[in-house]
Amino acid sequence: MSSHSHGAVTVNSGPENAEVFFSGLWKQNPVFVQALGMCPMLAITNSVRNAIAMGIATLFVLVCSNALISMVRRIVPRQVRIATYILIIATFVTIVEYLIKAVSIPVYKALGPFIALIVVNCMILGRAEAFASKNTVGKSILDGLGMGIGFAIGLLCLGSVREILGAGSFLGIPLFGPNYQPWVLFLLPPGGFFTLGGWLLVFAWWKNRQRRQKDLALGARA
Q: Give me the residues that bind other proteins (CB under 8 A), please.
A: 35-36, 38-39, 42-43, 82-83, 86-87, 90-91, 93-94, 97-98, 112-113, 116-117, 119-122, 125, 185, 188-194, 196-197, 200-201, 204-205, 208
Q: Alpha-carbon torsion 26, 27, 30, 31, what sign?
A: positive
| Distance of closest approach, residue 145 Cβ to other proteins, in angstroms | 23
| Distance of closest approach, residue 29 Cβ to other proteins, in angstroms | 13
Nearer to other proteins, 2 or 94 (CB): 94
Query: Around Cβ 75, how many Cβ atoms within 10 Å?
Result: 7
Please report the DSSP string for 101-117 in residue order: HHH-HHHHHHHGGGTGG
> Which residue, among 61, 24, 66, has the nearest Cα to 40 in the 3D structure?
61
| Distance of closest approach, residue 88 Cβ to other proteins, in angstroms | 10
Residue 110 neighbours by CB under 8 Å, 6+ apart: 47, 49, 50, 53
Nearer to other proteins, 18 or 110 (CB): 110
Nearer to other proteins, 26 or 176 (CB): 26
Q: Contact 134/73 with Cβ under 8 angstroms?
A: yes
| Distance of closest approach, residue 187 Cβ to other proteins, in angstroms | 12
> Which residue, among 124, 196, 190, 189, has the nearest Cα to 160 in the 3D structure?
196
| Distance of closest approach, residue 18 Cβ to other proteins, in angstroms | 29
Give dist(CA 34, CA 22) in Å, integer.
Answer: 15
Nearer to other proteins, 137 or 196 (CB): 196
Nearer to other proteins, 43 or 71 (CB): 43
